[in-house]
A and B are shown apart, each in its own frame.
Chain A
Amino acid sequence: MTDPIYKTDALIADDIEAYLDQHQNKSMLRFITCGSVDDGKSTLIGRLLYDSKMIFEDQLAALENDSKRVGTQGQEIDFALLVDGLAAEREQGITIDVAYRFFATEKRKFIVADCPGHEQYTRNMVTGASTADCAVILIDARKGVLVQTRRHSFLCHQLGIKNLVLAVNKMDLIDYDQEKFEAIVADYRKFADSIGVEDFTAIPMSGLAGDNITTRSGNTRWYDGPVLIDHLETIEVSSTASQAKPFRMSVQWVNRPNLDFRGFSGLIASGTVKPGDELRSLPSGKTSTVKSIVTMDGDLDQAVAGQSVTITLADEIDCSRGDVLAAADSPPEVADQFETTIVWMDDEPLVVGRAYWLKLGAQMVSVTVAEPKYEIDVNNPSGSGSHLASQTLHLNQIGVCEITTDRRIVFDSYADNRALGGFILIDKITHRTVGAGMLHFSLRRSQNVHWQPTDITRDHHAAMKNQTPRVLWFTGLSGSGKSTIANEVEKKLALMNRHTFLLDGDNVRHGLNKDLGFTESDRIENIRRIGEVAKLMTDAGLIVLTAFISPFRADRQLVRDMIDAGEFVEIHVDTPLEVAEARDVKGLYKKARAGKLKNFTGIDSPYEPPEDPEIRVNTVEMTPEEAADYIIGRILPLK
């Protein structure tokens, strides 16, 4: 057994004040360990906890017990059992999720993200890597650089981890052979160069035997580099490094206890700030100077990256949650189209064109993702075949994609600033976090297209027609009566001198959308174009009626998000499938039942009814004319 990391028991007993003083001023490093169970990852972490006395006696007793019962090390302590958390994982003998572990030495507190190594857990590894300052990549000395070593290194590099440690483990099993170690390092260096990793530190070690982890091993006298703990104690923490960058802080919360105080609260992402500094608020671009940096312990003379503060400004400028306060002379960019790398994290694949929420800092906007330019082969990220053609992204796949947000957001490239370049994607219906991404740069076209301000505004258009624009969006099964009712509504509105236009399958599919087929992304593009046309028509002051099955909630949500609040009226033409099928005006249900028509809504493709439509009409109880009257009653006065 090697010496524990804490050699300070005596100090604790003799001079607790001195001990506490020493520990009061520790810094903190977050790192991730990558490798599979076979590489001895859990054993290494178990040992770090054990050696730094983060295991108590009762836990140790349980560990010894378990080691004998279910351990893989015979009568020896199986450190891996210490770190396997959830019951499901124990049964399967693998680590499924990201677990966070803690240990401390005299110089540092460490937070370890313990991540599974298999390809199907890329999602978990990316999660663990997102907050890490350093990555410890384990390899089994007997096996050398494997596919998974390449995958782990590539992912850590993508997530911007600058400090890589190549832990060549199980050296005891190759008799601490220097030549074999050096061959592995040379092999790895070749790979690291090919993916753009500038530097790494290779350490020969044994987690089981304890070589070069906390103390220098007598078994590797040929090795003169650092031992693992010494190395982890000295590498620079990224929040310290980011102090040299320009000031950035996302405003999380506006602190307004009374009319005399208005403070902007947030976590400083980079740089430093002092009273008197000139700051720019983005996206507005307005500038002011820092009046004070307020904390409960008194105002500060200076605050740095990594601190949570509240800043007051000398002038009343418009600034709210999601805005970014930045150094006035080097502000971040503002744009709405970007090139990004996206990691897909959900069982349901990415749907190109569908609107998702994007959260970046405290900004939350609607976003659509274009078809990937390519998918990256994570197992072979540097080879000539590393770019794979792909129409979408599935769970654990990574691709380079262009994205478009519905309004401009404040950002830095991920390489410059993780806090303003990293984002998550959220499904609008399930609310799950379905993806994570890194912004690389904005696309020029978004900056060059400027809105042409027109003198005749949409309000003018509407006022001339003496009406309020609306989009009446009819949705329902085929044969539910959408077109019939929409037609009735339009006729009645025309009699009331309202200016309307009806968009339906015939006038859209034969012209504007004749290039679109019936694949999922075509279907979304179809709806998107209809939405855009409807929006233009409302700008022109019209009342637009649309009659499309539009079976998916997400698609209807996409259009709702485009249209001004209150102008979108979702009308569910609610007809039970049996009734619609019995009507079968166009004979389509019969064909679908016979298998001659694929993906037919209600038969072999789902219809997702609106959960909370503005209007619902029941066509079993109402005639089309009654339904039309009911709808008009609900939307009046239209002024």
Chain B
Amino acid sequence: MTEPQTLTHLQRLEAESIHIMREVAAEADRPVMLYSIGKDSAVMLHLAKKAFYPSPPPFPLMHVDTTWKFQDMYKLREKAARGAGMDLIVYQNPEAEERGINPFDHGPLHTDMWKTEGLKQALDKHGFDAAFGGARRDEEKSRAKERIFSFRTATHGWDPKNQRPELWNIYNARKKKGESIRVFPLSNWTELDIWQYIMAENIEIVPLYFSAKRPTYEHEGGLFMADDLERLEKVMGYRPEVTERSIRFRTLGCFPLTGAVESEAATLQEVVQEMLLTTTSERQGRVIDKDAGDASMEKKKQEGYF
């Protein structure tokens, strides 16, 4: 008998995520992987490649776009999908497009129309009955209680009081017509786990996570990157004052909504070092959690936000 081999936490997290993805591939009629182009999505996509190797992942990749993402994100999106041998579906809510919904004039409606409504429309249009998302339980308090297989009604609502018990690693994927499942294979990963795995597996992420000299402007007390100055000017009604600064991002979303941090961390090691020494939590850079006080994420999810 050989000495038992103790698996590391990353090996066990990887094995669990792969197991979850294979269950969905085997039991769902029409699964899809939601891809936000952030670091968590990058890890999730990498795990999908591993889960089904040497086959390509047996589902498409879908980005619910707001048209306001960073240019660097759009570039990596195309490349990542090709690299995985997966079909890429990009969905933009036509109504939001028609009404010119943007982060400056419309506030919370921007997220609601482009992301929440856009996602519901995209899922309905393609008839997807299971959608992978990269959310983690350590991100936010109400996530800590969400299941790995999270059920949504035909109108995409989430009922936190009516979740199915999840025992061992047995997942109940059965559902009625019209109902769907959101599946979170990274549920048990923490932010540090994600970074360590990116480092260990050499996963490509958007360069915006690393510090570089970038054009920035200040707006309502936050520091932002002038990713598309022409467009900013058009919606803001004036040309913001732009200065070069060494900045990076801890989380990526729409460029006018994603706060930058001044930083010199230009390598993975330095980024992790900065993360470990820093004392503000990841979602703080994003405005989305705060608009209804304490219970806002829970409320958003009941309405269908991912």
Cα distance A575–B88 when bound, in Å?
Answer: 51
Q: Are A109 and B7 interface neighbours, CB within 8 A? A: no
A255 and B7: CB pair below 8 A? no
Q: How many residues of B contact A (CB 8 A)?
A: 71
* A16-B273, A86-B298, A126-B167 known; A431+B176 contact, CB < 8 A: yes
Segment at the interface with A among B15-23, B120-128, B208-216: B15-23
Asked if B4 contacts A240 (CB within 8 A), the reply is yes
- Known interface pairs A252-B23, A424-B170; A244-B142 also in contact (CB < 8 Å): no
Are A87 and B196 in contact, CB atoms less than 8 angstroms apart?
A: no
CA A423 to CA B187, docked complex, whole Å: 22
Interface pair A26/B9, CB less than 8 Å apart:
yes
Q: Are A56 and B280 in contact (CB under 8 A)?
A: yes
CA distance A272 to B14 in the complex (A): 18
Of B44-52, B63-71, B222-230, B232-240, the one with at least 4 CB within 8 A of chain A: B44-52
Interface residue A23 (Cβ < 8 Å from any Cβ of B): yes
User: Is B294's CB under 8 angstroms from A87's CB?
Assistant: yes
Q: Which residue, A25, A28, A56, has most C-beta atoms of chain B within 10 A?
A: A28
Q: Enumerate chain A residues within 8 angstroms of B243, measured Cβ to Cβ.
A: none
Cβ of A528 under 8 Å from chain B: no
Contact present for B26 and A253 (CB under 8 Å): yes
**A310 interface residue (CB < 8 Å to B):** yes
B9, A27: Cβ atoms closer than 8 Å: yes
Instruction: Give the CA-CA distance A104 to B142 in the complex, in Å.
Output: 21
CB nearest neighbor in A for B174: A431
Contact B7 A307 (CB under 8 A): yes
Which residues does chain B contribute within 8 Å of A265, judged by CB atoms?
22, 51-52
CB neighbours (8 Å) of B246 from chain A are none
B145 A426 Cβ-Cβ under 8 A: no
CB atoms of B7 and A86 under 8 A apart: no
CA distance A16 to B268 in the complex (A): 11
Q: Is A306 part of the binding interface, using a Cβ–Cβ cutoff of 8 Å?
A: yes
Bound Cα distance A252, B164 (Å): 21
| A393-433 interface with B by 8 A CB criterion | 418-419, 422-424, 426, 431-433
In the complex, whether B155 has a CB less than 8 A from a CB of chain A is no
In Å, the complex CA distance between A59 and B188 comes to 20
- In the complex, whether A57 has a CB less than 8 A from a CB of chain B is yes
The stretch of A94-102, A175-183, A448-456 that contacts the partner chain = A94-102
Q: A314 within 8 Å of B by Cβ?
A: no
Mark each residue of chain B from 30 to 71: 1 if its CB lies under 8 Å from any CB of chain A, else 0: 000000000000000000011111111000000000000000
Provided the pairs A86-B142, A294-B54, A307-B7 are in contact, do residues A419 and B276 lie with their beta carbons within 8 angstroms? no
Q: What CA separation (Å) do A379 and B45 show in the bound complex?
A: 47
* Residues of the B chain whose Cβ atoms lie less than 8 Å from the Cβ of A354: none
Contacting residues, chain A, for B281 (C-beta < 8 A): 56-59
Chain A residues with Cβ under 8 A from B294's Cβ? 87, 90
Q: With A424-B172, A431-B175 given, is the CB distance from A85 to B141 under 8 Å?
A: yes
Stretch in A205-213, A357-365, A589-597 touching the partner: A357-365
Asked if A308 contacts B169 (CB within 8 A), the reply is: no
A123 touching B165 by the CB < 8 A rule?
A: yes
Please state if B170 and A359 are interface contacts (CB–CB under 8 Å): yes
Are A27 and B145 closer than 8 Å at their CB atoms?
no
A253 touches B53 (CB 8 A): no
List A6-50 residues whose CB lies under 8 Å from chain B. Answer: 9, 12-13, 16-17, 19-20, 23-28
**Which among B53, B166, B278 is the interface contact of A310 at CB below 8 angstroms?**
B53
Complex: A314 Cα to B222 Cα, angstroms: 62
User: Chain A residue with minimal CB distance to B8?
Assistant: A25
Please, which residue of chain B has its CB at the minimum distance from the CB of A103?
B190
Tell whether A296 is near chain B: CB-to-CB under 8 Å. Answer: yes
Contacting pair A28 B269 (CB below 8 A): no
The answer, among B14, B193, B270, for a CB contact under 8 Å with A308, is: B14
A321 within 8 A of B: yes
Question: 3 shortest A-B CB distances, which residue pairs?
Answer: A57-B279, A56-B281, A28-B9
9 pairs across A/B with beta carbons < 8 Å? A16-B269, A86-B141, A90-B295, A99-B145, A126-B165, A240-B7, A295-B53, A304-B4, A433-B172
Interface residues of B (CB under 8 A from A): 1-2, 4-16, 18-19, 22-23, 25-26, 49-56, 137-138, 141-142, 144-145, 160-161, 163-170, 172, 174-176, 187-188, 190, 192-193, 196, 199-200, 269-270, 272-273, 276-281, 284, 294-295, 298
A residues at B contact (CB < 8 Å): 9, 12-13, 16-17, 19-20, 23-28, 54, 56-59, 83-88, 90, 96-102, 104, 108-109, 111, 123-124, 126-127, 130-131, 237, 239-241, 243-244, 252-253, 255-257, 261, 263, 265-267, 272, 294-297, 302, 304, 306-308, 310, 321, 345, 357, 359-362, 418-419, 422-424, 426, 431-433, 436
